[in-house]
Amino acid sequence: MALAIAASERVRGSTSPNPPVGCVILDAGGVLVGEGATRPPGGPHAEVVALERAGDRARGGTAVVTLEPCAHHGRTPPCTRALLDAGVARVVHAVADPNPKAAGGADVLRAAGVDVASGVLARDVERGPLRAWLHFARTGRPHVTWKYASSLDGRVAAADGTSRWISSPESRAEVHELRAKVDAVLVGTGTVLADDPALTARRTGRRQDGTRRPLRVVVGKSDLPAGARVLDDEAETMHLRTRDPDVVLGALAARGVVDVLLEGGPTLAGAFAAAGRVDQVIAYLAPKFLGGGPPALRDAGVSTVTGAVALVVEQVSMCGPDVRVSAAVPPGAER
Ligand code: AOF
Ligand code: ZN
């Protein structure tokens, strides 16, 4: 399952609105004979890619999948059919498919005599590669990760407005990795005017429709300056002249965006937090004090300490000299 998760991580950002699923095939003796991950929408699912690589060696073997194999005829034929045709004897999956159209694969396989086990490394899959898609399937809204880099005293710029290189080169490189794994990056017009970010991922790829990812989304009523870097040809850019987080998320969902990286600034992040539309936070805290300048978050709708947005820390690690904190709003605590 760890290998299936790793395979799915490699296609994150290229499968939406479908989930990035990973699959490995073991032969009857337990030897790894195939590996695959979901192709872009309309293409084969992970199981089909992995089975193709395994060929005849899948007969009597085991398929390990991060998501319950689909039982439906959607854009592609059911994976349950492909697994049965290949003669797989055992299927192990991490999480059940919550999509009512595709669900029921485990039962179909069991009814055909396949040994089915579920729940293996389910937490890792739910928190990792399938997190955004599971959230989308449950709520109908894209999953929002708010990412910021600040000084240890929580400032995203100095008193004079300078903000470049608060965080380390290691942290900045990692942000490119984060961008490459999402469908869209989101900033306010204020950030475009103040910082002129390019919002590209170093490791970009093309979508099936030929456009580059991730989609860059600028939110706010101000016009964008003609020479702004977000308007270059590196990726597509969408300017939404609204401040309502749900209008933004609705417009993105309509375009098949499932996984969003919100990169600020403080006003836009505050609006999302106030609306209960921040699902996860990744903070890069640089070991320095600024003692002045804007805070990472403004006007989040909290006026008293009992109204604080409560988070659960999922991971703390070092990123060069910076501390990286990943935290989430616990399920059910969303407003
Ligand atoms: C799998 N393996 O790799 C994926 C699955 O439109 P379709 O036909 O591609 O079907 C999409 C649905 O299939 C999607 O909403 C989800 O329920 C499931 N995705 N299932 O067995 C995969 N990506
Ligand atoms: Zn499938």
Instruction: Cite the residue boundaries of each domain of the chain with CATH code 3.40.430.10.
Output: 141-328
What pLDDT does residue 210 have? 53
Residue 190 reports pLDDT greater than 90: yes
pLDDT interval class at 211 (50, 70, 90): low
Q: Which CATH homologous superfamily contains domain 2-127?
A: Cytidine Deaminase, domain 2 (3.40.140.10)
pLDDT, averaged across the chain: 94
pLDDT interval class at 334 (50, 70, 90): low
Instruction: Cite the residue boundaries of each domain of the chain with CATH code 3.40.140.10.
Output: 2-127
What pLDDT does residue 13 have? 92
Average pLDDT over residues 140-154: 98
Best residue among 47, 70, 109 to mutate for probing ligand 1's pocket (most ligand atoms within 8 Å of CB) is 70
Please, which residues have CB less than 5 A from ligand 2, an ion? 45, 70, 79
pLDDT tens digits for range 21-44: 999 999 999 999 999 999 999 999
What pLDDT does residue 213 have? 78
State which ligand 1 atom lies nearest to the alpha carbon of 74.
Answer: 8
Residue 335 reports pLDDT greater than 60: no
What pLDDT does residue 163 have? 85
What pLDDT does residue 164 have? 85
Residue 333 reports pLDDT greater than 60: no
pLDDT interval class at 152 (50, 70, 90): very high
Q: 116: CA distance to ligand 1 center in Å?
A: 18
Best residue among 18, 84, 108 to mutate for probing ligand 1's pocket (most ligand atoms within 8 Å of CB) is 18
Catalytic annotation, residues: 47
Nearest CA, atom 14, ligand 1: 18
Residue 212 reports pLDDT greater than 70: no
The CATH number for 141-328, chosen from 3.30.70.20, 2.30.30.50, 1.20.1440.120, 3.40.430.10, is 3.40.430.10
What pLDDT does residue 204 have? 57
Q: 184: CA distance to ligand 2 center in Å?
A: 25
Q: How far apart are the first and last CA of the chain?
A: 33
pLDDT tens digits for range 63-98: 999 999 999 999 999 999 999 999 999 999 999 999
Question: Does ligand 1 come within 6 angstroms of the Cβ of 50?
Answer: no
pLDDT tens digits for range 292-330: 999 999 999 999 999 999 999 999 999 999 999 999 988
